Amino acid sequence: MDLLIVDDEPIIRKGLLKMAESYTPAFSKICTAANGLEALDIIQASEPDLIITDIRMPKMDGLELCRTLHEDFPHIPIVVISGYSDFEYAQKCMNYGIRHYLLKPVTKPDVHEVLNTMIKSQMKSFVPITRFVDWIDRMEQCIWSLQTDELVKLMEQWRLYCLTAHFTLPQLKELLEDCMSMLHKRFQERSYTPELSPRETVPHTAKEALDVFEAKLQRMADGLLASRNGNFKDPMEEAKAYINGRLAEEVTLEQVAQMVGLTPTYFSALFKKMTGETFVQYRIQQRMERAKELLAVPHIRIVDVATGVGYDDYPHFTKTFKKIVGVSPSEFRTRLGIK
């Protein structure tokens, strides 16, 4: 579970951070922000499960932050901190669904008590929609690219999350059924229809429900491989072949990701992991390797070599070549004995 602390006073912000860090069970991540605008940036980039915010802050105060979150992130529980003199102002947050307040000076027992109340009641059995969608996105990509090791790691993470989120068995079953339904729909849109699972033993515990779900995911991956007649093409090898065949063109990461059937974000991360290079680094390296091959052919002009590997700007080509190879194109030819 992730927590965001918002307060413009560094000393108070640091104190709240220490109080939260001493809370049990420990938060997965605790972020801090000095005002509402900073908080919104963090929330949009990595949605927290819980927010503690001061009411009086510059740029965007707690009231405005609560109003914005009520409109765009109504599912995130918020605790508002205020002094006695500001409490009447802070109560206006009730219009935005706020029910939990902390009065200054805030103590560790105060913080722990409100966390207990919120986590054990309101936060129980809740999965933020962005996390749920991200979960499904990553499972889809792992299965489609048959990255079974990544799929195993992903399921280990989510098994831990589900088992510590205090879901009732019916709630967990519903969550997993919704996930499976969305995956079926997404694969059908990719022209792959997973076979219906055989009748299974009805799970009586959360662990059994997760075991059944993981078995279904594995059958999806096995069925996909079978539908490809067992001839699975590594998406990274396909991507590299596609890039290498178009070195003279300005091929984008989005184009290559679409070609191999992966989202740009997942493809970018997977490409870096599997090749040790970013998409841009790989393409530059391959262009320079091709340039060396062409430079070894005496009758091809260097300016034509540049164009042949996608550089209309000749000075940029020579600069890049020297940076990667260590010598200029003309020096490279001289070393080959070509005048």
pLDDT, one tens digit per residue, over 244-269 is 888 888 888 988 888 777 778 878 88
Domain-ending residue, one of 210, 227, 244: 227
Neighbour tally for 331: CB within 10 Å? 13
Residues 108 and 12 in one domain: yes
pLDDT, one tens digit per residue, over 189-219 is 777 888 766 666 777 888 888 888 888 888 8
272 burial class (0-12, 13-18, 19+ CB within 10 angstroms)? middle
Percent of the chain whose predicted confidence (pLDDT) is above 90:
12
Residues 197 and 280 in one domain: no
- For residue 251, the enclosing domain spans 235-335
Residues 220 and 144 in one domain: yes
pLDDT(86) > 50: yes
Whichever domain contains 270, its CATH number is 1.10.10.60
Residues 182 and 106 in one domain: no
- Can you tell me which residue has the tokens 């280990």? 156
Residues 220 and 239 in one domain: no
pLDDT(320) > 90: yes
pLDDT(123) > 60: no
pLDDT(127) > 80: no
Higher pLDDT, 248 or 85: 248
Domain-ending residue, one of 56, 89, 122: 122
Whichever domain contains 104, its CATH number is 3.40.50.2300
Domain-ending residue, one of 227, 259, 281: 227
Residues 181 and 210 in one domain: yes
Residues 69 and 103 in one domain: yes
CA distance 303 to 310: 11
The pTM score is: 0.43
In terms of phi and psi (left: phi > 0; alpha: psi -120 to 50; beta: otherwise), the region of 276 is left
β-pairing verdict for 100-103 and 78-82 = parallel
Residues 116 and 140 in one domain: no
Residues 99 and 208 in one domain: no
Return all residues near 71 (Cβ < 8 A) that are at least 6 apart.
Answer: none
pLDDT band at 230 (very low <50, low <70, confident <90, very high): low
Residues 134 and 194 in one domain: yes
Residues 160 and 180 in one domain: yes
Higher pLDDT, 146 or 232: 146
3-class DSSP assignment, residue 252:
coil
Tally of domains in the chain: 3
Residues 66 and 160 in one domain: no
